[in-house]
Structure 1
Amino acid sequence: MGNYRFILSGGGTGGHIYPAIAIAGELKKRYPNAEFLFVGARDKMEMEKVPQAGYKIEGLWISGIQRKLTLKNLMFPFKLISSLLRARNIVKRFQPDVAIGTGGFASGPLLRMAAGSRVPCVLQEQNSYAGITNKLLAGKAQSICVAYDGMEKFFPKEKIVKTGNPVRQDLVNLEVGQKQALETFGLKEGRKTVLILGGSLGARRINQLIEQQLDFFKQQNVQLLWQCGKLYHDDYKNYDSDTVRVMAFINKMDHAYSAADFIISRSGASSVSELCLVGKPVIFIPSPNVAEDHQTKNAQALTSKNAAVLLKEAELESQFEAVFRDLTESEGKQAELSSNIKKLALPKATEHIVDEIEKLLK
């Protein structure tokens, strides 16, 4: 037995795609004969990332509604109808046993049509402030897996299961020692290391901040491991030196986390979940340009438990140096933040989500 068929949809950003791939991986481990099909938005990054992970994907002609009147918005009703019809055909042809949505535009039409065909549905919401697609689908789902407390303001209480967000397996137990990790990046022992992360595409404002503060970091006698993002690498690569490592993208994230004493990061859901496992002192600089300002809300969920430091983009000029100095000069504060953020880690999230999916298999 175990010839189940699973259809998964989520995309637009890495934060929706990687959880879907992690869930598929755990299902495959339990049901090696199962069949998988992903459904994404035709021109988004899932069309590349999902096949790289070894799964089939079909694309829908869908995009989000822009906040202002644009040609794209006028096209939205046509895209929606086209996507609903195509999603209905995909569901009819593939005949899934369960449909799994991890957020993003494409999961709307797909799960809507799956639910209409009586396919049981599971939603996974990564953020502390629920996304619009998942809010619209909540009534159709049998189970909604969340990562934060207090989600009953968005979803029916009886459907919510707190599982946490799927994270990359190599981060669950950081097995690389700091000495070896520093060697990986050509950094020195005996000097504190700051890891800078701007999300999968990089973050212009964080990069500008680091550039402005290079002299300050030198005075503080810290070395930097700076992931600036592919889009910005050409602008900042000339700062690469013995004490400042500038990288477009870090593949060995387990080494990067092990090397770090302090971390400066965006607060996307998957970053937050990873950083809880890592357990190092973090300064979050949320992106203000995301739907419903959910990165700020993700960071506040941690700062309210004294598990991280939050610094808004608007405060960087006036407060960054004081906040950074305050953290690096107080070992008590570092220990407290590390201890509190670790308490929020949910390392078995992927397994618990798949346990919920298993309950729906006939």
Structure 2
Amino acid sequence: MSNRIIIAGGGTGGHIFPAIAIANAIRQQQPDTQFLFVGAKGKMEMERVPQAGYDIKGIDIAGFNRSSLFKNLSLPFKLIKSFFQVRSIISGFKPDAVIGVGGYSSFPVLRVAQQRNIPTFIHESNSFAGKSNILLGKKAVRVFVASEGMEKFFPAGKLQITGNPVRKSIAGADISRAEALAFFGLAENKKTILVVGGSLGARSINEAISSHVRDLATLNLQLIWQTGKTGAQAYKHRGDAISNIWVNDFIVEMEKGYAAADVVISRAGAMAVSELCVVKKPTVFVPYPFAAEDHQTMNAKYLVDKEAALMVKDDEVKAKLFPAITQLAMDEAKQEKLRNNIARLAVTNADDVIATEVLAYIKKNTAS
């Protein structure tokens, strides 16, 4: 009889893409495994997971809204409703195991599974664990983490350092620079800057890029600009009319974005860092300053200290980002140094390690 696994979480690409990578790795090892994803209604997982070929059910849950306290009045009701929805989903699907990858929907799904003694696994991609995962980790079978020192958040005996799962489409990509540039309609004889501020966007980065779009051509540079959803229309309007710029709110085939890029501007979320290590790209990181415990700055600083990346602080972006990325684009020796050093930090098999561990536990659990 085939295994049945629920994967819960989402909200951002940093949660969704590792979840899909784990599912793909499990399916590679055991093709008849049945999956059901559970996500938050209205979030990007409801679109991205079906695109990857998996079923997903949405639940009514949302996070705390810091910008509008009024919108938080409905949160307790949404949480209660989500627990009823999750109980129904788990009763109907009858999973052998549940994997949580972070995001709003992870908490009720893993909580209900643990109440029913269904084995639960957690993947924590960041160096600073979220409160929900810390709480859920106490009863999880195993907590997969990206880095050392996570004993301050989780029981030491449950920890396994695996690194972060990077999509096989990226880790195993075999796309030439020429092919990738043709996909974006850009020229082969110009240096290419890739800007990725995350699936929701990074306003400071986007505003800095927006103010310099006309300067790129004079420097013989071109741009692939993923704006994210926030403010996308204005940025598209700014860049669409310029021939050396490709602009959109999202790059579905990110492996082509990486293949086309000579240098990259990126936030320093855990998954962005993991992917950039794997694709070996010279990068200027702009850490999101409001991440919990400023962990994005910690992520970026770890690479900077190893001479594997450059960093510009968010409050210095307006003055320093464009000079930093254009200087890097012109300096091939610097690019080569960063490329070699970031490549040493790459982990390419995290998804396979997690898949092996989950399947082995299910087999042992069902046999006993």
Whether TM-score is above 0.5 comes out as: yes
The 1:185–1:114 alpha-carbon spacing in structure 2 relative to 1, beyond 3 Å, is same
Report the CA distance between 1:322 and its aligned residue.
4.4
Which residue number in structure 1 is paired with residue 103 of structure 2? 104
For 2:309, give the aligned amino acid. Answer: A
Classify the secondary structure of the residue corresponding to 2:138: helix
Which residue number in structure 1 is paired with residue 356 of structure 2? 355
The 1:249–1:342 alpha-carbon spacing in structure 2 relative to 1, beyond 3 Å, is same
Report the CA distance between 1:87 and its aligned residue.
2.5
Which residue number in structure 1 is paired with residue 6 of structure 2? 7
Aligned sequence identity (%): 46
**Preserved CA contact (<8 Å) 1:237 1:247:** no
Moved more, 303-312 or 95-104: 303-312
**Preserved CA contact (<8 Å) 1:281 1:338:** yes
For 1:309, give the aligned amino acid. Answer: L
For 2:200, give the aligned amino acid. Answer: L
**Preserved CA contact (<8 Å) 2:267 2:287:** yes
The 1:245–1:53 alpha-carbon spacing in structure 2 relative to 1, beyond 3 Å, is closer
**Unaligned runs of at least 5 residues, structure 2:** none
For 1:303, give the aligned amino acid. Answer: V
Classify the secondary structure of the residue corresponding to 1:8: strand
**Preserved CA contact (<8 Å) 1:23 1:350:** yes
Which residue number in structure 1 is paired with residue 271 of structure 2? 270
Deviations 1:258-285 (A, max 9, x none): 2211111122332222111110100011
Q: Hey, what's the Cα distance between the residues in 2 that align with 1:354 and 1:323? A: 40
Q: Hey, what's the Cα distance between the residues in 2 that align with 1:67 and 1:202? A: 17
Which residue number in structure 2 is paired with residue 35 of structure 1? 34
Q: Hey, what's the Cα distance between the residues in 1 that align with 2:129 and 2:5? A: 24
For 2:186, give the aligned amino acid. Answer: L
For 1:320, give the aligned amino acid. Answer: L
Which residue number in structure 2 is paired with residue 236 of structure 1? 236
Report the CA distance between 1:289 and its aligned residue.
4.5
Matches within 5 A, 1:1-362: 1=1, 3-67=2-66, 70-230=69-229, 231-239=231-239, 240-324=241-325, 326-361=327-362, 362=365
Report the CA distance between 1:143 and its aligned residue.
0.8
**Preserved CA contact (<8 Å) 1:194 1:260:** yes
**Preserved CA contact (<8 Å) 2:205 2:317:** no
For 1:96, give the aligned amino acid. Answer: P
Classify the secondary structure of the residue corresponding to 2:111: helix
Q: Hey, what's the Cα distance between the residues in 1 that align with 2:184 and 2:64? A: 42
**Preserved CA contact (<8 Å) 1:42 1:60:** yes
Q: Hey, what's the Cα distance between the residues in 1 that align with 2:259 and 2:12? A: 26
The 1:292–1:58 alpha-carbon spacing in structure 2 relative to 1, beyond 3 Å, is farther
Q: Hey, what's the Cα distance between the residues in 2 that align with 1:179 and 1:46? A: 31
The 1:179–1:97 alpha-carbon spacing in structure 2 relative to 1, beyond 3 Å, is same
Say what the alpha-carbon RMSD is for the aligned residues: 2.4
**Preserved CA contact (<8 Å) 2:7 2:37:** yes
**Unaligned runs of at least 5 residues, structure 1:** none
Deviations 1:72-101 (A, max 9, x none): 434333333333343234333332111100
**Preserved CA contact (<8 Å) 1:237 1:246:** no
Classify the secondary structure of the residue corresponding to 2:185: coil
Moved more, 253-262 or 317-326: 317-326
**Preserved CA contact (<8 Å) 2:129 2:153:** yes
The 1:202–1:181 alpha-carbon spacing in structure 2 relative to 1, beyond 3 Å, is same
Q: Hey, what's the Cα distance between the residues in 1 that align with 2:68 and 2:158? A: 36
Q: Hey, what's the Cα distance between the residues in 1 that align with 2:10 and 2:287? A: 20
**Preserved CA contact (<8 Å) 1:165 1:349:** yes
Classify the secondary structure of the residue corresponding to 1:229: coil
Report the CA distance between 1:200 and its aligned residue.
1.8
Report the CA distance between 1:216 and its aligned residue.
4.4
The 1:237–1:110 alpha-carbon spacing in structure 2 relative to 1, beyond 3 Å, is same
Report the CA distance between 1:114 and its aligned residue.
0.8
Q: Hey, what's the Cα distance between the residues in 2 that align with 1:178 and 1:327? A: 18
Moved more, 337-346 or 311-320: 311-320
User: Which TM-score applies when normalising by structure 2?
Assistant: 0.89
Moved more, 331-340 or 274-283: 331-340
Deviations 1:277-335 (A, max 9, x none): 11010001123344444433332332232221111121113323443355345444322
**Preserved CA contact (<8 Å) 2:209 2:322:** no
Moved more, 103-112 or 170-179: 170-179
Report the CA distance between 1:112 and its aligned residue.
1.2
Classify the secondary structure of the residue corresponding to 2:361: coil
Report the CA distance between 1:145 and its aligned residue.
1.0
Report the CA distance between 1:215 and its aligned residue.
4.8
